[in-house]
């Protein structure tokens, strides 16, 4: 052999660094705008807003008490202490859910509970705990409060006309709460991304079938389907195709026509990989945009864009396929779901200490699967899960993964690593 330069499986030397491949992909995707539709608020959780929402009203619509106590004129409490209390006459009671009747006069107060509307004349709430009852009509106030104390003002949560949520925002439970509070019952959201999935290879049978001698069950199909559904995608199964070029091209073309994203996997052999490249190029422009990456596992991934469909040729080895899914397909599906890219901006991790020395080749990104173990003191330990990228059990045993960067030749035992959980 001539040298040790990184090579793809055809002996080509050009492997794209992962960050560059991802930028190329996101750049290409940025020209495709996902479409949107109207959705009832109750069904919108987990979807991405396709509109900016301004609040149509003040929340709360009235100034309300945040404590149980007495609605007072704050100035009536000024200077009050335990030794020099102020005396207030109980002149009424705020009923929940209706506008208060009457007016709080000087040196008077109204009973009020949390959530009660502040009656006219009053501007603060004195907590029960800072009062001493004298009799049924009179209290001692032993603390001074300022105007607005224990009151949430009309519009303090959100004001009429001000921005509530903006386009590109993921609708979480609390966002539904806010929108419900301001009376929004329908929202415009981006349509669910559609993903078509097929597995390739003459040696593969459907996982529910009993494989005849020499064949094996498809692992990638069910795994990638579950991964896509977890991201909110609608998945169409295009089954298993053999390496007949015409059948393969016809099936991928049909999948590309009906979906935002197409995933085919299994093309790890040179023949299948050649076929995958050919098929992506035939589907439409711009065709292949990334052609193998400096990543282990996951090197032989093909990334293409054909008209408005992203097409991924994932490695056949299940671990490699899943790694490429995490790094490239995940963001692509999120893009078609309407999330603002680059995404995710912030990736939460668990800090852990590597429990052994680990070698790595410079020039490629290594993804290391790990098990985590809590320790009595200090950070948990991260134990690499050994095994080939063809061994799916290694990924089932792993709780997470971390990266060793392209510039590193390895990590020493006890190095702190940031572990992404596989959940």
DSSP code, position 372: E
Among 5, 119, 17, 13, smallest CA distance to 70 is for 119
For its own copies, the closer of residues 35 and 373 by Cβ is 373
For its own copies, the closer of residues 82 and 357 by Cβ is 82
* Side-chain half-sphere exposure of 190, counting CA atoms within 13 A: 30
- What minimum distance in Å lies between the beta carbon of 123 and its own copies? 17
For its own copies, the closer of residues 17 and 148 by Cβ is 148
Rounded Cα distance, 193 and 197, in Å: 13
For its own copies, the closer of residues 289 and 318 by Cβ is 318
- What minimum distance in Å lies between the beta carbon of 223 and its own copies? 3
- What minimum distance in Å lies between the beta carbon of 392 and its own copies? 5
For its own copies, the closer of residues 377 and 423 by Cβ is 423
- What minimum distance in Å lies between the beta carbon of 148 and its own copies? 11
Give the number of residues written for the chain: 423
For its own copies, the closer of residues 91 and 175 by Cβ is 175
Q: Scan for tokens 């094996």, then name that residue.
A: 216
Contacts of 104 (CB under 8 A, 6+ apart): 71, 72, 73, 91, 92, 110, 119, 120, 121, 122
- What minimum distance in Å lies between the beta carbon of 211 and its own copies? 7
Rounded Cα distance, 204 and 283, in Å: 24
- What minimum distance in Å lies between the beta carbon of 276 and its own copies? 13
- What minimum distance in Å lies between the beta carbon of 398 and its own copies? 8
DSSP code, position 233: -
- What minimum distance in Å lies between the beta carbon of 416 and its own copies? 11
DSSP code, position 148: T
For its own copies, the closer of residues 34 and 300 by Cβ is 300
DSSP code, position 423: -
For its own copies, the closer of residues 257 and 396 by Cβ is 396
Q: Which two tokens stand for residue 53?
A: 């929402």
For its own copies, the closer of residues 207 and 249 by Cβ is 207
Rounded Cα distance, 285 and 388, in Å: 35
For its own copies, the closer of residues 44 and 251 by Cβ is 44
- Per-residue HEC secondary structure of 70-100 comes to EEECHHHHCCCCCCCCEEEEEEEECCCCCCC
Rounded Cα distance, 77 and 143, in Å: 7
Rounded to the nearest 10°, the torsion over CA 87, 88, 89, 92 is -160
- What minimum distance in Å lies between the beta carbon of 228 and its own copies? 9
User: Cis (ω within 30 of 0) for the bond into 40?
Assistant: no
Residue 11's CB is within 10 A of a number of other CB atoms, namely 9
- What minimum distance in Å lies between the beta carbon of 126 and its own copies? 12
- What minimum distance in Å lies between the beta carbon of 182 and its own copies? 8
With contact defined as beta carbons under 8 Å apart, do 116 and 63 qualify?
A: no
For its own copies, the closer of residues 217 and 254 by Cβ is 217
- In order, the DSSP letters of 35-82 are PEEEEEGGG-TT-BB-S-EE-SS-BSSS-EESSSEEEE-GGGGTT--S
């Amino acid at each position: 052999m001539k040298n040790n330069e990184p090579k793809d499986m055809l002996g080509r030397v050009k492997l794209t660094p992962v960050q560059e491949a991802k930028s190329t992909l996101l750049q290409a995707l940025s020209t495709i705008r996902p479409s949107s539709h109207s959705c009832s608020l109750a069904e919108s959780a987990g979807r991405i807003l396709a509109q900016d929402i301004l609040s149509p009203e003040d929340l709360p619509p009235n100034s309300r008490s945040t404590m149980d106590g007495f609605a007072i004129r704050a100035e009536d409490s000024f200077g009050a202490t335990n030794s020099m209390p102020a005396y207030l006459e109980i002149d009424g009671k705020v009923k929940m859910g209706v506008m208060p009747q009457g007016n709080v006069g000087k040196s008077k107060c109204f009973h009020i509970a949390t959530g009660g509307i502040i009656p006219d004349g009053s501007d603060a709430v004195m907590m029960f705990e800072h009062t001493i009852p004298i009799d049924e009509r009179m209290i001692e106030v032993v603390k001074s409060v300022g105007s607005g104390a224990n009151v949430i003002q009309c519009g303090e949560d959100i004001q009429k006309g001000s921005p509530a949520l903006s386009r590109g925002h993921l609708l979480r439970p609390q966002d539904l709460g806010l929108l419900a509070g301001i009376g929004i019952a329908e929202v415009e959201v981006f349509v669910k991304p559609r993903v078509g999935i097929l597995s390739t290879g003459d040696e593969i049978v459907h996982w529910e079938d009993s494989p005849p001698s020499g064949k094996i069950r498809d692992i990638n199909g069910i795994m990638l389907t579950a991964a896509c559904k977890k991201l909110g995608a609608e998945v169409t199964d295009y089954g298993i195709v053999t390496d007949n070029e015409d059948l393969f091209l016809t099936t991928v073309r049909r999948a590309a026509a009906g979906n935002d994203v197409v995933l085919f996997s299994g093309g790890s052999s040179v023949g299948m990989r050649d076929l995958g490249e050919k098929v992506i190029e035939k589907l439409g422009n711009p065709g292949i945009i990334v052609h193998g990456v400096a990543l282990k596992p996951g090197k032989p991934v093909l990334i293409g864009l054909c008209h408005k469909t992203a097409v991924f040729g994932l490695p056949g080895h299940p671990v490699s396929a899943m790694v490429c899914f995490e790094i490239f397909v995940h963001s692509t599906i999120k893009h078609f779901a309407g999330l603002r890219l680059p995404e995710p901006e912030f990736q939460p991790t668990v800090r852990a200490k590597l429990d052994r020395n680990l070698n790595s080749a410079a020039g490629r990104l290594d993804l290391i699967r790990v098990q985590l173990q809590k320790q009595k003191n200090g950070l948990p330990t991260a134990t690499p899960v050994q095994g080939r990228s063809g061994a799916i059990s290694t990924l089932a045993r792993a709780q997470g993964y971390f990266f060793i960067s392209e510039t590193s030749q390895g990590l020493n035992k006890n190095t702190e690593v940031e572990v992404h959980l596989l959940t």
